[in-house]
Amino acid sequence: MENILLNFIKDNLINIIKKNNLESPILSYRTKCTLQIKAHEAYITKFKVLFSKMKGKIKDLMKPEEKVKITKNNFSCTGTIISIENDEICLELYKKIEMNEYDLTRVINYNNNILLEKLSNIKENKISSFVIHGFSNFLKLFCNISYNEIINLKESQTSFLNKKIKEQKKIGQFDFKNNIDTKNFSFFDKSLNANQKNAVFNINLCKPFKIIGPPGTGKTRTIIEIIRQLLNKKFTILVCGPSNVSVDNIIERFVKLNLGILFYRLGSSQKGLIKFNLNNIVEQKTSFVIKEKNERNFIKNLSKLKTKYKKDLQSETKIVFSTLFSSLSENRNFDWIIIDEACQASDAEIFLNLYKAKYFIMIGDPNQLCQGEVSFFEKIYLDTFLLNIQYRMSADLIKFSSITFYKNSILSSLFTKSICIFVDTDGYDLDESWNEKSKFNEGEANLIIEMVNLINNRIYHKIGIITPYSAQSTYLKSKIDANIEIMTVDGFQGREKDYIIVSFVRSNDEGDYGFLDDYKRLNVAITRCKKGLFLVGNSFNFRKSSLFNKFFKHIRENFDVIDPSEINQYFKVIDIV
């Protein structure tokens, strides 16, 4: 079984690498370095794009945390994208460069190639028995694969497993472990609800488990309580996530507690938390060393001192925060590993980290956008806890998601009436257009611009606009105030705003809706708002989709549906604050 699981993970990664090589364009830009600031051990470096047909659209083609190669003549180095604004790309480098012109090229499969190499070096006997049994139980319970079928598979037949898994459109989560008696257990955070307490209490059993955290259900608060309980029991902990943003969110909450506990992080930071990076801490602690006359001896002695201090710090630290990829450089084992946003992580990243700890907790939501069709989170069958009290949206706004995606198990702690309006463009001939590799709908975008102009500009920072297509996002950004965040559905996952406007874009004679008929994508789009949701789209275009028919039926029965011609009149009377 160990060989089958290992080869299954490997084959999936190889397929992802091949797909990326075929589908991901090699993007290269001529740029000029305009700014470089030393931030601890790293250099925050900005590049202005000089010549490119894609000027103004770079943000839709490249993403934060992607790797970029910087070249000029015989010089080259690799950096990590921190942010992209207009035609300016901000990178984190670990090398000082001159203020010259450089070619910036996106590096495809940088992390994946390293992951594949590490998978090839794994010894089967190091794989956690919990993982093996969890995967085996998943295949038997959810994919109807008998034990004999599994053990008789040859190592090269993992395509059979993939086929069986893909046949399951939605993997059901069974046997939620709720109604546990936690009365005699002391919690640091007394405000936790019953299901949050149940999940925290399970660490006492010292075995792996999963937590499903739907939108706005206090997932991070639960993670922080788990961390505090494990530290109180003197366990060592590795806290991971697939992205720097996911890790930063937990660190920010942890730091606010002022516990005085020694910790460090691995990887970059999107929120100015680079001072907690392991190498930066070492750099600060050794900055007092007086420079010797003999420079060679000084460099040699300083290097030895840094190595010693780093080893001491690693041995003394009980908790480490890291991205899943960066944690692979941490050559130590832990008692527990906590993986947040586990559904967004690749199989290989999670798998390579699980054998670094005795026990693990995976936290995620399989009903939101995941890596691949079925995430590793879903492929491991373990005791599962559902966080079911939702603190973001009112009961009327969360109702459709709760009924449709969570078996009507999500309750809201908010009972105020919220705004939800659907501007139905059916019959208005606002057809979609094709722009290079994406779609946009200028007529639909103009309606959104009209809506935004009718909203008080003092609350622009409270508004977010979500669209499935990058071309629509780019067009809206060129027309709307920069204080309003405009992103694709993927980009807005994990975020929230008081008011969300969703542009569905698709409107054509054939009724083609492409990849929009995806319950995970719809769930993310409609659960980002706290106070109000505004939908713009052609309901008739989605007539062939059972999911959207159900959604639009729910909207008509519970909220307001208006024509585009009624926008001006309607938005003048509704109260948006």
233-271 pLDDT tens trace: 999 999 999 998 899 999 999 999 999 999 999 987 767
pLDDT of residue 265: 93
CA distance 398 to 401: 6
pLDDT of residue 446: 96
Domain presence at residue 10 = no
pLDDT of residue 86: 77
Written as one letter, the residue type at 155 is E
Looking at the structure, do residues 397 and 381 belong to the same domain, yes or no? no
Domain presence at residue 13 = no
pLDDT of residue 378: 87
Residues of the chain with pLDDT under 70: 1-2, 52-56, 123-128, 130, 140-158, 160, 164, 166-179, 270, 289-299, 436
Spell out the alpha helix ranges (H) of 480-518: 489-492
pLDDT of residue 98: 93
Looking at the structure, do residues 353 and 238 belong to the same domain, yes or no? yes
Domain boundary among 387, 411, 446: 387
pLDDT of residue 291: 59
pLDDT of residue 461: 86
Q: What are phi and psi of 58, to 5 degrees?
A: -60, -35
pTM of the predicted protein model: 0.86
Domain boundary among 355, 387, 419: 387
Looking at the structure, do residues 32 and 120 belong to the same domain, yes or no? no
pLDDT of residue 53: 66
CA distance 270 to 396: 34
- Using DSSP bridges, classify how beta strands 463-467 and 485-488 pair: parallel, antiparallel or unpaired: parallel
Looking at the structure, do residues 123 and 101 belong to the same domain, yes or no? no
Domain presence at residue 303 = no
Looking at the structure, do residues 222 and 136 belong to the same domain, yes or no? yes
Domain boundary among 364, 387, 410: 387
Burial class (CB in 10 A: 0-12, 13-18, 19+), 191: exposed
CA distance 25 to 154: 36
pLDDT of residue 572: 80
Number of structural domains found in the chain: 3
Pick from 564, 464, 480, 552: nearest CA to 516: 552
Give the helix, strand, coil percentages of the chain, each rounded to 5. 40, 25, 35
Q: Which domain holds residue 344?
A: 115-261+318-387
